[in-house]
Amino acid sequence: MSWFDKLKVKTGLGPKIAKPEIIWIECKGCGEQLYIAEVEKNLKVCPNCDYHFRADARERISYLINPGTFVEHDGDLTSKDPLKFKDKKKYKERLRATFKKGYSHDALISGSGVLGDHPVEISVFEFKFMGGSMGSVVGEKITRCVERAIKNNNPVIVVSCSGGARMQEGILSLMQMAKTSSALKKLSDHKLPYISILTDPTTGGVSASFAMLGDVIFAEPGALIGFAGPRVIEQTINEKLPEGFQRSEFLVDHGLIDNVVHRRDMKKTLNNLLSMLANKPILKTVETHD
């Protein structure tokens, strides 16, 4: 459970008893005390400094997809624990514990919906499900999302929020990188747009596959994005990392992504972009001219 949810429970925004005296949270960006309801209303962005709090997959879908248009797909896919993996805890138990918290769809929710004027296929990561890690289910859902886009002649949107490949499924998790990247090659051959949105964090095997393959790549402000995690890099090179290293703005400066886009502006930015890239509205325009 993240600190945000703990607070929700404490403050009565969750299922437990209300304690009206703590309805404030401290912003990680500016240190300001914020009224939780106001932050929620502001798409989980600090009204004071624009710090982007992490959002759940369903919340993100509501930020991007027109109300009432989202249809979820492949929600019944679950992991088979192919390695019978056990560290300090069994992988099966970790999965069960996450299900109990109400996150039953593995680390990704996928479906079809309408974004502004455009029908799209969309996949959104659920960070609260084992750090948004990618195992067989995530890889399969993204691949099917892309295949659906080809079938329906729709663009693909993926919102990444993940620490990388899921260790508990070993090599099969790694292979999801090849699987999803291959599917995107097919999408590309069909000349259908793929827009990748990176949020905090997008690292490891997710970053090193579909997340970095977008025709256009946008990131939310201040998100950690990179192949290796900062701790691993620090240990390898034995020096402190520069300020702002691997943050969204750093990636723009190094020519690695297209832009940093505020959560508030994401939907209209994507709608605008799709109006220039996606086939369907263009055909409509041609018809009216005729």
Partner 1 sequence: MALENQIQDLVSLSHMYDSVGDITHEISKLKKKLRRMKHEVFLNLKGWQKTQVARHSDRPYTLDYIQRIFTDFQELHGDRRGGYGPSMVGGLAKFDDQSVMVIGHQKGREPAEKIRRNFGMSQPAGYRKALRLMKLAEKFDVPIITLIDTPGAYPGIDAEEKGQSEAIATNMFSMIDIKVPIIVVVIGEGGSGGALAIGVGDRVMMLEHSVYSVISPEGCASILWDDKEKVKQAAEALCMTATHLLEMKVIDEIIREPLGGAHRNHKQAAVSLRKALRANLKTLIHQSSEELIEKRYEKFRSMGAFSTEEG
Which positions lie near partner 1, rule CB under 8 A?
76-80, 82-83, 85-88, 95-96, 99, 104, 136-137, 139-140, 143, 165-167, 169-179, 181-186, 188-189, 204-205, 207-213, 226-228, 232-233, 236-237, 241-242, 245-246, 254, 256
Nearer to partner 1, 13 or 256 (CB): 256
Q: 134 pairs with which residues across the strands?
A: 165
Residue in 215, 179, 182, 171 with CA at minimum distance from that of residue 82: 171
Q: What's the min distance (Å) between Cβ of 276 and partner 1?
A: 23
Tell me whether residue 13 or residue 174 sits nearer to partner 1 (CB atom): 174
Q: Is the alpha carbon torsion for 132, 140, 136, 167 positive or negative?
A: negative
CB of 81 to partner 1, least distance (A): 8
- Tokens 């918290």, located at residue: 101
Rounded CA separation 55/63 (Å):
10
Query: What is the spatial distance between Cα 229 and Cα 246, in angstroms, rounded to a whole number?
Result: 9
Q: How far is the CB of 259 from partner 1 (least distance, A)?
A: 16
At its nearest, how many Å lie between partner 1 and the CB of residue 91? 9
**CB-count exposure of residue 132 (10 Å: 0-12, 13-18, 19+):** buried
Residues 16, 65: contact at Cβ < 8 Å?
A: no
Least distance to partner 1 from the beta carbon of 188, Å?
A: 8
Closer by beta carbon to partner 1, 76 or else 290: 76
CB of 118 to partner 1, least distance (A): 24
List the beta bridge partners of residue 156.
121, 194
Q: Is 110 helix (H, G, I), strand (E, B) or coil?
A: strand
Look at residue 111 and give its three-state secondary structure: strand
